[in-house]
Amino acid sequence: MKDVVLPASLNELLEILAGDPDATVYAGGTDLLVKMRQGLVDPALLVCIERVAELRGVIDEGDKLWIGPAMTHASLLEHPLIQRHLPLLVSAVEKLASPPIRHMGTIGGNIVTASPAGDTLPPLYLTDAEVEIRSNGSSRTVPIFNFVLGPGVVDLQPGEIISGIRVAKPPAYIVHHFEKVGRRTSQACTVVSLAALMSVSRDGLIERARIAWGGVGPTVVTSKEVDEALQGKPLSIATLASVGPLVEAAVSPIDDVRAGAEYRRAVAAALVLRLVQHGDR
Amino acid sequence: MTITFTLNGQPVEVDTAADRRVVDLLREDLGLTGAKEGCGSGDCGACTILVDGESRLSCLMLAAQLEGRTITTIEGVASENLHTIQAAFVEHGAVQCGFCTPGMVLAAMDLLHRNPHPTSHEIRQALSGNLCRCTGYQKIVDAVHAAARSCDLREGK
Amino acid sequence: MKQSEQKPDSMLASHGPKDTRLSIGTSAPRADAYAKVTGTERFAADYYGFDLLWAGVKRAGVPHARLKSIDTSHAEQAPGVVCVLTHRHINGANRQGVIRKDQPVLVDNKVRHCGDAVALVVAEDKKSLAQALELITFDLEPLPAVTDPEAALVAGSVLVHEDHPGGNVLLAGDQSTGIGEAAADECDVLVEGCFRTPRQEHAYLETEAGWAQVQEDGKLAIVCSTQTPFRDRAEVAEALGLDLSGVRIIAPYAGGAFGGKDGVTVQTLLGLAALHADGRPVKMWWSREESFLAGTKRHPATMFYRLGAKSDGTLHFISVRLYLDTGPYDHLGGVVLALALEHAGGPYRIPNAVLKGWCVYTNNPIGGAFRGFGVTQVTAAIEQMMDMLAQRLDMDPLELRLKNAVRQGDRNCVGKTLVTSTGIVECLEGLKRHPVWTERDAWKSASGPFKRRGVGIAALMHASGYGPVVPDFANAKVDLTREGTFRVYCGVVDMGQGNAATNAQIVGAILGQEAGRIELVLPDTDLTLPSGSASASRCTYTFGNALAGATRILRARILQRAADLLMVRNTEEVALIPGAVRCLRTGREIPLQRLAEFFGDVERVATDHFRAPVAAEAETLNPDVNLRLHGLPHTLFSYGAHAAWIEVDELTGGIEVKRYVALSDCGTVLNSQIYEQQIQGGIAQGLGLALTEEFLVNEGRITTPDFFTYILPTATDVPEIESIPVEIHEATGPFGLKGVGEIAVNGPLPVVANGVADACGVRIFSAPLTPERVRSAVAARAREETL
């Protein structure tokens, strides 16, 4: 029989974590309880953070947004600040898993699970997300690309918890694009995803592009070479196709039960072509 | 551990292990077998219940999390008569083997509370977490449409 | 909280609106929907009860091995364990199977697949059960696993059953018509193809489940989710060494089955557990992962086809070589092969056929009954071959099919003269007139960026029943209760297809009664009469005929008694109305409850028997007595024509089905809602096979063990489906009906494959048509074109 505690405050939570190094935190449980069922983990103490008010909320900080890690995916989708300032995150999260999972799972959980296919991650990379980390007596901040270290591996020490996520509101990009490719159209584990922020001039030139891919590497893949190669070029099939080799070189997908590496590599490049649809604006 | 919550409109107090799965608590301890277990891993939706009005998967919830919550299972949906959604399911042939049905009804309730006039696509998306192997989903979608229209008619729209 | 008292009761199923008029051809809501929609209907998985024990299985975990010993000592000592059972505790034959009894209840000498049951634990609760199962070990001598069916046929291959005279061949079939292979040279055009279809998981929402208890009178009662209660009773009795009369099987509404519960799953294990439970009830409910591991699958098939025609499109020759991987146990594998061979040429006249097939034992997961039952596999092949032939002949694919489609009186590809209703031409002509066909070019030319559009069609046929040897029979019983209601004793299990509701409808229609006056007793070997399996598209056809007969007997008796009491000359002067019998001339009425008082107990009950017709020419057509036993040939067929608009995404290879139309000849429609339910559901399951469901096995081990890795269609993956019944009255069917349960599942795979070929100019010969397969086929073709 396992102990399950539901702390009511962040301080209470941090004390529990400080007191028991084996304490395992969960919010929605949609990843942890599945791992427990598979026998991959067997924690003696479970700490459910769904009632810690300080871990929820979305705060407008001017040029940044602070997001509570225990915000469920559904609550993010419904939040006016997220809708207004992070349409890219909305676009990704509305395709994540399924409605009941979105009512339970949280953005913090998605980050800590650190699946190469995690749908919140590409948008968080493109909005320069920083992860606030607290323990009982310390705090630090880590950029997301240093926080997520590999599949299922994040920079969290025993006793530490994500206490906040801070993202930069994207400057006035015209294009907030997210495409998810899976084996079915809903409740799908991402095989390849592409997130893109672009600003396009009135005469159709790509002023700035930032692209991130999910499912094609141990963590989210971004590529300065691809972003720079697109800059200043017309938004056309020819331009988008021309970066294909750079994309294929940037990604490092694996074979798994859902798809092969070769497919993932080819699709990562192909999905860039879809950005041409934004040329009509 | 003693847990107090509201279940289908009634206050309830149970004494149970904190880590007991809610689906087991409902089915085995409280005799409410309407919520079904189809996979135990959050992939099929057969265990769907409403928690504070929101659809959740009871196979991925632990008893301790029930404290202070308002829970609705399929047994709490109908009053003297069938709920509009249940009646629509019956009328439109949305029920075949029936094992997915309680979860589907609750998922549809969650949808219509949020979005009283969903399109077919929105209905399908809202039900995408509930697998059905019998119907091909079409009559379930038809039933939810009909239920939405019924609610409109009752509200004089 | 107290646990609810539960014991097997007489399964009186409740239903909703009492005043629903029941008649043939209307679309009354199903009788079972009300209890299901309120969560009050109890499935086998919902049985608990006071003093409950839990039973669970320790499975082999290796595909092939000799069992040297089992160590249960630690498990026996574990807390909460009541007993740990092995084959030593089985007094009976310890063998199960429908045709060939080759599957042990608990392994005694050899492990033949990873899911083989080796030991059975009975414990006080699920946790103790799980812990005890971990403590069981066995000493196994691993054997090389047989994992490739074609390799398994090579002389000298490792044998799955050393004692089987056929080696690794469970069943082989060889049927020739006309001049056979010599006809190939007479063809103007010959196309060839090799098609592969995968295993498919039934994925019913209710996994294998049951509850058992030795009752006070010593009878072993088993409640289970099953398609075959009477056969189960026989299997349990034989396997465990009990008298038939000492076993009772109760079959509630099953939470889906699709063939996966056609045959023993939990029944013998539960029976064994209950026999060692000292009168306490025992529950077994397979987890989803266990269902994947131990349950049966659709047979994967490799099919080599050659199809030849004259230059005007007249089909002249077909050669088929068909390999089915049946896993380690019979489980109806031979019957699947026989049905596949019979349907290998599709609904066409082909005068010269060479049809060969092998159903092969391996150490892969068990192949068993799955809706479609071999016809799904061969339809995927023949319907793609027809498109390939049409392309070679530069003929319209629909016209090619119409030209060759069978009509009543023609012979099909095994030489069977079609003597029952044959509506394939009507289905194809209906399709030809439908906008899905007439507007296809306009739709195709309107595709957007990165999309390619195509249209695919398929012509379908599907036999019902068991073939010429195994009797396809049913026994129906209806009684007039003392309360003046009618109790219908359903012989065939309702696993979601709605036959229980249809039974109520048939009885209500014949007796002129409303829904509230009809009670259903679900199958129970103590209460209902033997009526065969819920399978083979025969449920309503066979049982409905028996039920209509029994109901008419009862009706005649009621009218006769009323005529006597009302002192009229003959029964034409009285009529059954809802709740009463009325004298037509005088208007005087006797309520049914009053009338029932004038019935002796014996008179209250009416029974009737029906046995489905069989092919008269079976022996001459198929001289192979073993193949005849396995079902070849049948005599009653349903038909269909499907079409879909397919859109392929060039960037991802993803396929979207934009529109799906199904025309079906399944006789007359008793209830259009139930009919459509079967068509829509079958198509959804077929689309899963076509697009998303890939069951992977590597060296005998499953690599898609759950719903996370095995991809089922969700509500956003299945399009709107338009179902058009082509109603041709079948003279031998109740009210003109034929089977509708299976045929629709056979359409989607060839429809999608043909649509993709039309859209992209490439044919994909392996299913499912995953985005990866599609993309790589399109890319390969593009590379070829640039060379």
Q: Where are the domains of chain B?
A: 2-76, 84-154
Residue C2 has pLDDT above 60, yes or no: no
Residue B64 has pLDDT above 90, yes or no: yes
Could you give the CA distance from residue B29 to residue C2 in angstroms, rounded to a whole number?
7
**CB–CB of A67/A76 below 8 Å?**
yes
Which residues on A lie below 8 Å from C715 (Cβ)?
A: 186
Which residues on B lie below 8 Å from C498 (Cβ)?
A: 96
Average pLDDT over residues C42-57: 98
List chains adjacent to chain B, taking adjacency as at least 3 C-beta pairs closer than 8 Å.
A, C
C interface with A, Cβ–Cβ < 8 A, is 449-450, 650-654, 691-692, 696, 703-704, 708-709, 711-717, 770-772, 775-776, 779
Residues 6+ apart with CB under 8 A from A203: none
| Residue C4 binned pLDDT confidence (cut-offs 50, 70, 90) | very low
Would you state the pLDDT for residue C477?
98
| Residue B42 binned pLDDT confidence (cut-offs 50, 70, 90) | very high
| Residue C784 binned pLDDT confidence (cut-offs 50, 70, 90) | confident
Would you state the pLDDT for residue C786?
83
**CB–CB of C689/C197 below 8 Å?**
yes
DSSP string, A91-146: HHHTTSS-HHHHHH-BHHHHHHHT-TT-TTHHHHHHTT-EEEEEETTEEEEEEHHH
Range A3-168 classified under CATH 3.40.605.10: no
Residue C51 main-chain phi, psi, to 5 deg: 70, 30
Residues A151, A155, A160, CA angle at the centre, nearest 5°? 125
B interface with A, Cβ–Cβ < 8 A, is 17-19, 40-43, 45, 48, 51, 54-57, 59-65, 67, 107, 110-111, 124-129
Average pLDDT, chain C: 96
Would you state the pLDDT for residue C434?
98
Are B93 and C674 within 8 A, CB to CB?
yes
Identify which of C37, C497, C706 has the shortest CB distance to residue B101: C37
Average pLDDT over residues C237-266: 97
With tokens 């009323």, the residue in question is C562
Identify which of B40, B48, B55 has the shortest CB distance to residue A37: B40
Beta-bridge partner residues of C321 = C304, C356
Strand B70-72 to strand B2-7: parallel, antiparallel, or no bridges (unpaired)? parallel
Q: The dihedral of CA C146, C331, C537, C501: what is its sign?
A: negative
pLDDT tens-place string over residues C748-772: 999 999 999 999 999 999 999 999 9
Residue C12 has pLDDT above 60, yes or no: no
| Residue B151 binned pLDDT confidence (cut-offs 50, 70, 90) | confident
* CATH class of the region A175-280: alpha beta
DSSP H stretches of helix in C330-407: 333-343, 375-393, 397-404
Selected residue of A25, A31, A32, A33 to mutate for chain B interface (largest B Cβ count, 10 A): A33
Number of inter-chain CB pairs under 8 A, B vs C? 185
Beta-bridge partner residues of C137 = C71
Average pLDDT over residues B140-145: 98
Would you state the pLDDT for residue A174?
82
Which residues on B lie below 8 Å from C676 (Cβ)?
A: 93, 139
Residues 6+ apart with CB under 8 A from A190: A117, A118, A119, A180, A181, A182, A214, A215
Would you state the pLDDT for residue A279?
86
pLDDT tens-place string over residues A205-253: 999 999 999 999 999 999 999 999 999 999 999 999 999 999 999 999 9
State which CATH number among 3.40.50.11740, 3.10.450.630, 1.10.357.10, 3.90.1170.50 fits the domain covering C53-143+208-285. 3.90.1170.50
Would you state the pLDDT for residue C11?
39
CATH topology assigned to domain B84-154: DNA polymerase; domain 1 (1.10.150)
pLDDT tens-place string over residues C141-152: 999 999 999 999
Beta-bridge partner residues of C194 = C304
pLDDT tens-place string over residues C418-465: 999 999 999 999 999 999 999 999 999 999 999 999 999 999 999 999
Cα distances (angstroms) measured from residue A47 to each of A20, A55, A140 = 11, 14, 22
Which residues on A lie below 8 Å from B48 (Cβ)?
A: 100
Number of inter-chain CB pairs under 8 A, A vs B? 82
Could you give the CA distance from residue B81 to residue A116 in angstroms, rounded to a whole number?
48
Q: Which residues of chain A fall short of a pLDDT of 50?
A: none
| Residue C17 binned pLDDT confidence (cut-offs 50, 70, 90) | low
| Residue B79 binned pLDDT confidence (cut-offs 50, 70, 90) | confident
Chain C contact for A254 (CB, 8 A cutoff): no
Which residues on A lie below 8 Å from C711 (Cβ)?
A: 183-184, 188
Could you give the CA distance from residue A31 to residue C283 in angstroms, rounded to a whole number?
29
Average pLDDT over residues C497-503: 96
pLDDT tens-place string over residues C560-609: 999 999 999 999 999 999 999 999 999 999 999 999 999 999 999 999 99
Average pLDDT over residues C252-261: 98
What's the residue count for chain A? 281
Instruction: Please tell me the pTM assigned to this model.
Output: 0.97
Q: Which of C396, C332, C399, C395 is CA-nearest to residue C359?
A: C332
* CATH class of the region C297-467+618-786: alpha beta
Would you state the pLDDT for residue C352?
98
Residue C481 has pLDDT above 60, yes or no: yes
| Residue B45 binned pLDDT confidence (cut-offs 50, 70, 90) | very high
- Which sequence spans correspond to the domains of chain A? 3-168, 175-280
Residue C241 has pLDDT above 70, yes or no: yes
Average pLDDT over residues C302-322: 98
Would you state the pLDDT for residue A167?
98
Count other Cβ atoms within 10 Å, centred on residue C119.
Answer: 25
With tokens 């292990």, the residue in question is B17
Could you give the CA distance from residue C307 to residue C316 in angstroms, rounded to a whole number?
8
Average pLDDT over residues B98-110: 98
Chain B contact for A274 (CB, 8 A cutoff): no
CATH topology assigned to domain B2-76: Ubiquitin-like (UB roll) (3.10.20)
Using left for φ > 0, alpha for ψ between -120 and 50, and beta otherwise, residue C458 falls in: beta
* Alpha carbon C472 to chain centroid, angstroms: 15
Identify which of C651, C715, C716 has the shortest CB distance to residue A274: C651
Is C786 or C72 the better-scoring residue by pLDDT? C72
* Alpha carbon B19 to chain centroid, angstroms: 22
Chain C contact for B141 (CB, 8 A cutoff): yes
Would you state the pLDDT for residue A281?
54
Are A4 and B18 within 8 A, CB to CB?
yes
Range C473-611 classified under CATH 3.10.20.600: no
Which B positions 45-74 lie with beta carbon below 8 A of chain C? 46, 73-74
**CB–CB of B46/C207 below 8 Å?**
no
Could you give the CA distance from residue A199 to residue A194 in angstroms, rounded to a whole number?
16
Average pLDDT over residues C681-703: 98
Residue C9 has pLDDT above 80, yes or no: no
Average pLDDT over residues C613-642: 96
Average pLDDT over residues B24-39: 98
Are B125 and A1 within 8 A, CB to CB?
no
